[in-house]
Amino acid sequence: MPSFGAKPGDTTSSRSVFHLWQGFSIGAVVIGALVLALLGYAVLRYRARGEAIPAQTQYHIPLELAYTIVPILIVFGLFAATLVVENREVANPPTKVTINVNAFQWGWKFSYPGSSAVVVGQTTQDPVMVMPVNTDVHINLTSTDVVHGFYVKAFNFSRYALPGVVNQFTFRALNTGTFFGQCTQLCGLYHSLMFFKVKVVTDAQYQSWLASFSGNTSAAYSSSNALSQQLSTGVATKQTLSSGAK
């Protein structure tokens, strides 16, 4: 089935969003092609020839009913498919891993409850959110100042970081790799530079990464850590995203 411009992404949810996207796209293409074909036919076929006045037909009740009722059925079909994907996506199953994400002007802070691991980064240094693969990861998202948007393209997902609200959702990454993230909601002067990265690693790597923070009580960007050093070098590019997606 064609992708219609979207990608399956790297989480369980992103896959179902992708399939929903395909379903909507098939509907859109079929309906769009039908309307364009009818319009094209009318434009080519009924170009004025002479001064004759055409039949002044104004109503065709069965036809009008048909193009009222059929779209209603299509809409309820789309809604049903939406509900299936949405209920799965917004479900918050109990998880073993939780990450608190705090957005601020203009950067991100990722902290890991139950451990001293904290990653902070601003416009000059993209912070990296490390998470284990094939594990449900619970995210608590909030903002300290204005509204921000937490968006990971490879996860086909975004959610606002709102001041005074903790938004909760769950990711289950299917592949290891580094994925590109960014603030999508206008948040002031340096909105364009508010990037982050998501590094999906194996469980063993994740545990050793967490362990490397033990004893380090200060909440700071830990450049002493080997893996974060490795992560912090290199510029966030879409190439890393697409290579991660494959």
Partner 1 sequence: MTDLLERPAAAEHPEPAEQHGPTGLLKWLTTTDHKVIGLSYTITSVMMLVIGGALAELIRAQLTSPNNTLVSFAQYNELFTMHGSVMIYLFAGPFAFGGLANIIVPIQIGAPDMAFPRLNALSYWLYLTGSITMLLGFFTAGGAANFGWVAYAPLSNSLNTPGAGADLWIGGLLLTGFSAIFTGVNLVATIFYLRAPGMTMFRMPIFTWNLLVTAILILLAFPVLTAGLIMLYADRHFGTHIFSVAGGGVPVLWQHIFWFWGHPEVYILALPFFGMATEIFATFSKKPVFGYKGMVFATITIAALSLGVWAHHMFTTGVVLLPFFSIMSLLIAVPTGIKIFNWIGTMWRGQLWFSTAMLMAIGFLVTFLIGGLTGIYLASPPLDFFTHDTYFVVAHFHSVVMALVLAGMGGLYYWGPKVTGYMLNERIGKAQFWFLFIGTQVFTLPMYALGLDGMPRRMAVYPHDPQWKALNDVASLGALLIGLSTVLFVVNLVVSWKKYPAGDNPWDAQTLEWFTTSPPPHHNFYRLPAIRSERPTWDYNHPEHRALGHGTREESH
| Residues from 74 through 93 that contact partner 1 (CB under 8 A) | 75, 78-79, 82-83, 85-86, 89-90
> Considering CB under 8 A, how many residues would be counted as binding partner 1?
85
Q: Please, is 83 exposed, middle or buried when counting C-beta atoms within 10 Å of its C-beta (0-12, 13-18, 19+)? A: exposed
Strand residues in 77-154 grouped as ranges (E): 97-104, 107-111, 118-121, 128-132, 136-143, 148-152
193 is a site residue for partner 1 (CB under 8 A): yes
Q: Which residue's CB is nearer to partner 1, number 57 or number 218?
A: 57
Applying CB under 8 A, which part among 94-102, 109-117, 211-219, 230-238 lies near partner 1?
230-238
Q: Please, is 54 exposed, middle or buried when counting C-beta atoms within 10 Å of its C-beta (0-12, 13-18, 19+)? A: exposed
CB of 34 to partner 1, least distance (A): 10
Residue 212, SS3 per DSSP: coil
Residue 157 in tokens: 């997902």
| Residues from 23 through 52 that contact partner 1 (CB under 8 A) | 24, 27-28, 31-32, 35-36, 38-39, 42-43, 46-50, 52
Q: CA 15 → CA 9, 20, 145, 169, distances in Å?
A: 6, 9, 33, 16
Q: Please, is 171 exposed, middle or buried when counting C-beta atoms within 10 Å of its C-beta (0-12, 13-18, 19+)? A: buried
| Residues from 116 through 155 that contact partner 1 (CB under 8 A) | 145-147, 149, 151, 153
Applying CB under 8 A, which part among 131-139, 161-169, 199-207, 215-223 lies near partner 1?
161-169
226 is a site residue for partner 1 (CB under 8 A): no
**Closest-CA residue to 10 (of 137, 194, 152):** 152
Q: Of residues 140, 160, 176, 212, which one binds partner 1 by CB under 8 A?
A: 160
Q: Of residues 8, 20, 199, 244, which one binds partner 1 by CB under 8 A?
A: 20
**Closest-CA residue to 99 (of 91, 90, 109):** 109
233 is a site residue for partner 1 (CB under 8 A): no
Applying CB under 8 A, which part among 10-18, 129-137, 209-217, 226-234 lies near partner 1?
10-18
CB contact at 8 A, 58 and 37 = no
192 is a site residue for partner 1 (CB under 8 A): yes
CB of 66 to partner 1, least distance (A): 9
Applying CB under 8 A, which part among 114-122, 185-193, 198-206, 211-219 lies near partner 1?
185-193
